[in-house]
Amino acid sequence: MKFLRNLLASILGFFIALFLLFILFAGIGAAMGSSDPVIVEPNSVLEIQLSDVVKDYAPSERNPIIQALEINRGKTALNKILNAIDNAQLDDNIKGISIKTPTVRAGIAQIQAIRKKLEEFKESGKFVYAYNDVYTQKNYYLSSVADSLFLNPVGQIEFGGLTSEVLYFKDFEDKYGVKMEVIRHGKYKSAVEPFLSNKMSDANREQVSSFLNSIWSEITSSVSKSRKIPVETLNSIADNSEGRNAELAKKNNLIDAAIYEDEYLDRLEDAAKSSINTISIKNYIASGKGRKTSLSKNRIAVIYAQGEIMYGKGNENIIGQDLINSAIRKARNDSNVKAIVLRVNSPGGSALASELIWRELELTEKPLVVSMGNVAASGGYYIACNADLIFAEPTTITGSIGVFGAIPNAHQLSKDIGINAEQVSTNNSAKYSVFEPISDKFYNVTKEGVEQIYTTFVTRVATGRKMTFEAVDAIAQGRVWTGKEALKNGLVDELGGLEDAVLAAVQLANIQDFRIRNYPNYNKDYRDVLSTLPIAGNIKKEDILKETLGDEYYQLFNQIKQFKKLEGIQTRLPYILNIK
């Protein structure tokens, strides 16, 4: 009977696998056979839609399985967006741009880069219009660059200033008997503060207030210039929520008119002086307009370091020393590569992995320029500090030169529920058990490691930035700065985006013409692809969590999950830094 049951189960499994393979290869065939080219029609308006996550680098996947199953869906590359806007400026088929996106899933520095590119686009004489039913604050910051800005008559604008919220767990730890044992250096190193206190420290409040005000100043000055509203008036509007309905928004000049979507389309046709076709930024990129072509043999290597820094291989979302260092070596050994631009978008992470990446860059004798994205802090700054030049957007979060170690401890919980742990050892070394209080010996050894890495970190910065140890230490201590503040204290050289960094690299390399080569390559083999299919439960689980929790709470869940994976001493930002 058991034999028959196993036989039937095997036969059933075989046919299920056969069916899944049939679906898989049918999908591959469909993907390879139905890729009609995207045509840019005459009299087109390019529609900026940023509901997908904007990543600094999201390379096209050549694997047909990934294409067929759309595993890489839901993201757009910033570099391709900027290139597309550049190309649209010279494209006779594009009459203008329409910013029409319900949400903007990009960081402030990324939005700033897109906004600057739209300002350049306007210099061509083509129009930029914007419309929405409701403007979030990020959306309004982007859309305010438009020549004319419109809102649904029953819509509203969220324009109320910036807020950063941090959750504190000390009372929770005391109540349930589980806590984090923390060893740190840096009075501003607030990544672990939520586990040590039930409220924000004065030092942390000082730095958060400083960088929020710096970012808000950048936003209001940009909106003020575009909308011709004094900054003082914008702050009054924010204080009193005077964009909360279309009537107030129009009265305060936040918009040009309150109209419906069909009326907005009429306005677009009036601006284009003809009937129009609309093409999304995603389709425009797919038509080939997301890249710039050059026949030059000279190359500038742009290496993208995006995500948390973790010891190991790494992938598109995690910076691992294996993948990044391999990319650095390829660029270094390619005689056609004349300079390297490292694009950093990272809150930091493993101190060991950061040091290994720093070393690989130190071995590279070619000109090295760093471009900082939304965030390049702690370990993200560690890997940037030895560059010849560092560029940051004014709103980039950077600095946070500090170190910490954190490990969970459940001694009180185990005691409360009647669990006693006993250990037997051959030597009296500094050991740690999650079920026992942290010993003085273990604390002292770990503290020594933290201090050693902090000293190394500050020394690396001092050498790279040609500053004294004392000067770096004075602006370190885990303190977070914006790019605008970092320019003043010497942590960055210039304010600007990736294009500015590339042009600086070209000058350092002393070349006239060039083309860009992007690194790393994120090639997935078939086992990697199959492991992420819904049949393995991964994608389905992530999708369900996102759908159930929403973006904000899913991000919180994911950050806590990542915190559980931390190994070794860390150089990283507060693991929850939510600005809204």
Measure the CA–CA gap between 433 and 541, rounded to whole angstroms: 32
Long-range contacts of 484-489 (CB under 8 A, 24+ apart): 484/214, 484/217, 484/218, 484/394, 484/395, 485/210, 485/211, 485/214, 486/392, 486/396, 486/398, 486/399, 487/392
Q: Which helix (H) or strand (E) holds 392?
A: strand 389-392
Tokens of 76: 């757009």
The two beta strands, 299-306 and 515-519, are parallel
Amino acid found at 307: G
Per the CB < 8 A criterion, the answer to whether 180 and 408 are in contact is yes
Per the CB < 8 A criterion, the answer to whether 318 and 357 are in contact is no
Catalytic-residue membership of 378: yes
Measure the CA–CA gap between 568 and 457, rounded to whole angstroms: 15
Measure the CA–CA gap between 52 and 73, rounded to whole angstroms: 8
Per the CB < 8 A criterion, the answer to whether 504 and 391 are in contact is yes
Catalytic-residue membership of 224: no
Q: Considering 378, 414, 484, 524, which one is annotated as catalytic?
A: 378
Residue 514 DSSP SS3: coil
Q: Considering 55, 100, 179, 189, which one is annotated as catalytic?
A: 189
Per the CB < 8 A criterion, the answer to whether 52 and 105 are in contact is yes
Measure the CA–CA gap between 300 and 303, rounded to whole angstroms: 10
Tokens of 204: 């942390």
The two beta strands, 164-165 and 578-579, are antiparallel
Measure the CA–CA gap between 521 and 313, rounded to whole angstroms: 12
User: Taking the alpha carbons of 196, 199, 205, 211 in that order, is the dihedral positive or negative?
Assistant: positive
Q: Using CB atoms within 10 A of its CB, is residue 230 exposed (0-12), middle (13-18) or buried (19+)?
A: exposed
Closest CA to 57 of 530, 552, 520: 520
State how far the alpha carbon of 358 is from the alpha carbons of 271, 498, 572, in Å: 51, 20, 15
Measure the CA–CA gap between 342 and 345, rounded to whole angstroms: 10
Measure the CA–CA gap between 100 and 47, rounded to whole angstroms: 6
Q: What is the DSSP letter of 284?
A: H
Measure the CA–CA gap between 148 and 163, rounded to whole angstroms: 28
Q: Between vectors from CA 130 to CA 127 and to CA 135, what angle results, nearest 5°?
A: 160
Measure the CA–CA gap between 420 and 435, rounded to whole angstroms: 8
Tokens of 310: 């973790």
Q: Which positions are catalytic?
A: 189, 378
